[in-house]
Structure 1
Amino acid sequence: MNNKRVVVGMSGGVDSTVAAYELKRMGYEVIGVNMRLWQDPYLEDAHLMHEGGCCSLSAVEDARRVCAQIGIPFYALDFKAVFKETVVDYFIDSYEKGETPNPCIACNKFVKFDALLEKAKQLGAYYVATGHYAKIDFNEASQRYEIHQSDAVEKDQTYALYNLTQAQLAHILMPLGSFKSKDEVRAIAAQFDIQIAGKSDSQEICFIPDDDYVGFLSRNGNSEMREGDFVSTSGDVLGKHQGIARYTVGQRKGLGVTFGKPMYVVGIDVVNNRVILGDNEAVFSETVYADTVNFIPFEDFKDGYACQAKIRYSAQAASCKLYHHKQGIKVVFEMPQRAVTPGQAIVFYDDTLLIGGGTIRKHKK
């Protein structure tokens, strides 16, 4: 493989565009690839199909145009099968299990840094690159690759990268990690494409351009839209819910029932098709259990390992300690955390260093 050749995943947005531009400026031989991931056959809104995010038709044309302006070859490649199997099917299955999935993490693990990396090798490229805000370094002392938070703290995306392996990191470039702000990135894009520079940030779930995840689940075969009981933490029936996939831990609004006081979702009982409600205090948990764990700067740890953890992308990192537990880990927080949600990722840090993470399965006070 040519160790100066790099395949850049091009979404037609400002971040991937500037990533490709910067890598060419650095002297790499850059190839732009748009990954055709998903097209909802049931989505009737033609505008959303054409304009709705990185899976839309316009994204392909935007990516093709900027590649021509940068002066790099462009390919549109079909990754629909692997995306459906590893991201969409996982997304639907998670809701059927009463969990709240994180499709971006699954896409990074199985598509962008697995399937795309294999395609890059077929094209003779040594690297793949994306527009993620994160920094990859090699630690000479440990002889391991590390991921550090982006210099643009408000844009940092390391939370969604905890699953990356040493073998993958050896072949990944993320040139936006050293930028101080998104404004700096937009300014570079504006030098050669005003339209791209002005694009808004992509939405959270790229394959649901109308933002109606309940409608998406219904259209794509989710069975957990049947009515069931709202129950209290002591088991008393409080009313009827409209399908467990409509609810997530910590939710207060949109329950469709009034109780005379604020009530929050504190759990999902899939077996009995029940949504468990409690007061605000019941939403806090001190202990979290996770599996499918991956660590980056080391392979294992000693019980009582002190670090910080985030229980969701937008959460503040909080002090905790890690312990081995059966097939996964137990995380004990110094202060209880609000709305720990099964199916979401819990991700660990040592200051700016991304340590790793896992999938939340259960929690307790």
Structure 2
Amino acid sequence: MRVLAALSGGVDSAVAAARAVDAGHEVVGVHMALTRHRAQTRSGSRGCCSIEDSSDARWAAEILGIPFYVWDLSEQFEEQVVADFLSEYQAGRTPNPCVRCNERVKFDALLSRALALGFDAVATGHYARLEGGAASGSPGSTEGLRLRRAADAAKDQSYVLAVSGRAGLARALFPLGDAPSKAVVRAEAAARGLPVASKPDSYDICFVADGDTRGFLARSLGVREGNLVTPDGQVLGRHQGYFGFTVGQRRGLGLDRPAPDGRPRYVLGTRPDTNEVVVGPLELLSRSSIEGEALVLLAGPGQLDGARGWDDVTVQVRAHGRPAPARVEVDEAAGRLHVKLAEPLRGLAAGQSVVVYGGQSGDQVLAQATVA
């Protein structure tokens, strides 16, 4: 197959591309330039868009002996990831920009260009396992397609990939899905002579270079002073903008006195229309059900129990959150999920991604939706 390998400049994508070459594919490397601030350097960046990354990606391609190109996708990234991130916070929701990036840039934009140029599939350094589609030599075919957790549970990225949908995943290759650990991948990179073998992992939000998300939101959305209130409306203090707070947050509330019973307070929610942040005791964070919208159904034909959902599955609401047992109903016509949790979860917020796992192995992604 003709495979377009996304080279981020990190060790994972480099080894993934190397494995695609070993598999006999005709591989071309491409680096997606996502930031408009190309002058930033790794020393001042915690994410994956520093200026060194493009150079590291080119170096890896030269060692692998594959053609290499840089695609400027900064406009798409700014409009579809950064702008979405800001508008979601402004609406009082808690978005996951990595989910949006995978959906709209790393798969949608990349795959669209790849197909237009005659490639059969794209390969990335994500940690997840795929069955069917390009992974089985039938790019584009969704028959038997399954997305499963990676062999290395600590690095599993199936949660952020679930939003990609069956059609996109049918054209994807994840060569690192069976890797037992990141240490093994680094050792393989070193053995291949790839200079990124010991390069540190990127973390946090890539477009927030200093890691100060609240500061980024304040600079982008401005300061909007408002009240910190109890659920019944008692004013406890002031804040600089409701969008700087997330559900479940305990630290940084700026309160000068504890609750009457001495227990800590947590953010229970935000009210954009009144610019209020609601705080209260821990027990008020518990939720026993989840409503999801913008449904992405990854389960194949015949995998819906009674054509309406699943009675014994798990759901995950954070990239590295613990799976929670649940019963799930699917309303495919309305594009919604209805989740009944076996045990309450704390800190759920609108805008998060909820992913359903099940199947015979228990680690297959069945569906994804956005918490409404």
Find the counterpart in structure 2 of residue 356 from structure 1.
367
Q: Note the C-alpha offset of 1:288.
A: 1.2
| Alpha-carbon distance in structure 2 between the residues aligned to 1:127 and 1:246 | 40
1:64 equivalent in structure 2: 58
2:349 maps to 1:337: no
TM-score by length of 1: 0.91
Alignment partners' CA distance in 2, 1:198 and 1:63: 14
Cα distance change of structure 1 residues 327 and 146 upon mapping to structure 2, 3 Å threshold: closer
Partner of 1:38: 35
Partner of 2:114: 120
Partner Cα distance (1:287, 1:239) in 2: 31
Q: What is the aligned counterpart of 1:313 among 302, 319, 326?
A: 319
* CA shift digits 1:88-125 (9 cap, x unpaired): 11011011011111111111111111111122123321
2:165 corresponding residue in structure 1: 165
Matched-pair contact (CA < 8 Å) for 2:41–2:51: no
* Aligned-partner SS, 1:55: coil
Deviation string 1:131-173 (CA, Å, 9 cap, x unpaired) is 0000110299x93411011001111000001112222122110
Amino acid at match of 2:226: G
Residue 282 (1) aligns with residue 284 (2): yes
Structure 2 residue 145 is matched with structure 1 residue 134: no
- Is 1:25 matched up with 2:33? no
SS in 1 for 2:48: helix
Note the residue ranges of structure 2 that are not aligned, 5 or more in a row.
137-141
76, 79, 83: which one pairs with 1:89? 83
The two structures have a TM-score, normalised by structure 2, of: 0.89
RMSD: 2.1
Of 265, 268, 271, the residue aligned with 1:266 is 268
Q: How does 1:101-116 map to 2 (within 5 A)?
A: 101-116=95-110
Q: CA deviation at 1:58?
A: 0.6
1:252 to 250, 265, 285: 250
Partner residue, 1:234: 232
Residue 217 (structure 1) shift: 2.5
Of residues 262-271 and 48-57 in structure 1, the stretch that sits farther from structure 2 once superposed is 48-57
For 1:32-75, what per-residue CA distance to the aligned partner results, in whole angstroms no more than 9, with x for missing partners? Answer: 1000111249xxx8545886542111100000011001111110
| Letter of the 2:353 counterpart | A
Letter matched to residue 157 of structure 1: Q
Shift of 1:306: 3.0
- Residues 50 and 58 of structure 1 are in contact (CA less than 8 Å); yes or no, is this contact kept in structure 2? no
**Aligned residue for 2:329?**
323
Report the alpha carbon displacement of residue 191 of structure 1 after superposing the two structures with TM: 1.7
After alignment, is 262-271 or 158-167 more displaced? Answer: 158-167
1:174-213 alignment, distance < 5 Å: 174-193=174-193, 195-213=195-213
SS in 2 for 1:58: helix
Which amino acid in structure 1 is aligned with residue 200 of structure 2?
A: S
Question: C-alpha distance in 1, partners of 2:26/2:110?
Answer: 17
CA–CA distance in structure 2, aligned partners of residues 358 and 51 of structure 1: 31
Distance 2:86 2:50 in 1: 21
Hey, what's the Cα distance between the residues in 2 that align with 1:67 and 1:357?
34
Deviations 1:278-331 (A, max 9, x none): 101111111111101111023764156431001111211011112356652221
Classify 1:264/1:62 alpha carbon distance in 2 versus 1 (closer, same or farther; 3 Å).
Answer: same
SS in 2 for 1:82: helix
Structure 1: which 5+ residue stretches go unaligned?
none
* Distance in 1 between residues matched to 2:344 and 2:243, nearest whole Å: 26
User: Structure 1 counterpart of 2:108, which letter?
Assistant: D
More strand by share: 1
Give 2:132's aligned amino acid. F
Count of aligned positions:
352
Identity of aligned residues (%): 37
Q: Please give the alpha-carbon distance, in whole angstroms, between the structure 2 residues aligned to 1:143 and 1:304.
A: 21
| 8 Å Cα contact 1:39/1:207 also seen in 2 | no
Q: Which moved more, 1:196-205 or 1:319-328?
A: 319-328
